A and B are shown apart, each in its own frame.
Chain A
Amino acid sequence: GAVVSQHPSRVICKSGTSVKIECRSLDFQATTMFWYRQFPKQSLMLMATSNEGSKATYEQGVEKDKFLINHASLTLSTLTVTSAHPEDSSFYICSAAQGKKMNTEAFFGQGTRLTVV
């Protein structure tokens, strides 16, 4: 299957600072990537759809000014958590689909454990 790599796997930052998370498709081009957030013992919640060369599409309730998404190339999407606060501490994970066929499998990155202190 296709490979999606996410970096860093863990990050600890101070409250008020910004953190950037990278998501790369290593062996395929992804015009669309997806970002999810998962709180402990909860499900994965879709945050936004990252579109190459255009603005991201955010799900209802997700602050676009707080979670900045950039998808400047066909293999890289970044999520920047701005002015992070302890309540932003969570597991963030990206995914991408290989191709644009309907019914296609999604491939996930390893996830990033963000802790804001």
Chain B
Amino acid sequence: GENVEQHPSTLSVQEGDSAVIKCTYSDSASNYFPWYKQELGKRPQLIIDIRSNVGEKKDQRIAVTLNKTAKHFSLHITETQPEDSAVYFCAASLTPGKLIFGQGTTLQVKP
């Protein structure tokens, strides 16, 4: 089955700097790659997603890139702010709604 690896597990950046989180997946048939932000005790919140027919997608300070050949995708957050501090999860899907998650990255943005 699908396996998703996510790195780093923790990331600390200074406010205003950029943050990059990387994920790799194992099943080349996966075709949907969402990124979630989760606050303690809350449901995951979709922040951006990318489909397999697209190489890059951007939404204001957040961007995601996908390399299908290498089977990896990355989340880029620019101009980080303290409120960006949270746990971020990547996921991969090849069946509608069925997600395999990475291990998560705890992002700390220092003021």
Contacts and interface: CB of A to CB of B under 8 A. Distances in A.
Interface of A: 32-34, 42-46, 49, 60, 91, 93, 95-97, 99-106, 108-111, 113
A29 B44 CA distance: 21
B99 interface: yes
Instruction: List the 7 closest A-B pairs by CB distance, nearest first.
Output: A97-B97, A108-B43, A103-B32, A103-B51, A97-B96, A104-B96, A106-B97
Contacts of B89: 43-44
8 contacts: A42-B103, A42-B104, A43-B89, A93-B43, A103-B52, A103-B96, A108-B43, A110-B42
A103 B57 CA distance: 15
A111 B43 contact: yes
A97 B34 CA distance: 13
B111 interface: no
Contacts of B97: 32-34, 95-97, 104, 106
B98 A44 contact: no
Interface of B: 1, 31-32, 34, 41-44, 46, 49, 51-52, 89, 93, 96-104
Contacts of A104: 32, 96-97
Contacts of A34: 97-99
Nearest to A97: B97
A111 B39 CA distance: 12
Contacts of B44: 44, 93, 108
A43 B32 contact: no
A44 B98 CA distance: 12
Given A43-B102, A106-B34, A101 B96 contact: yes
Contacts of B98: 32, 34, 46, 49, 106
A110 B43 contact: yes
A91 to B, nearest CB: 7
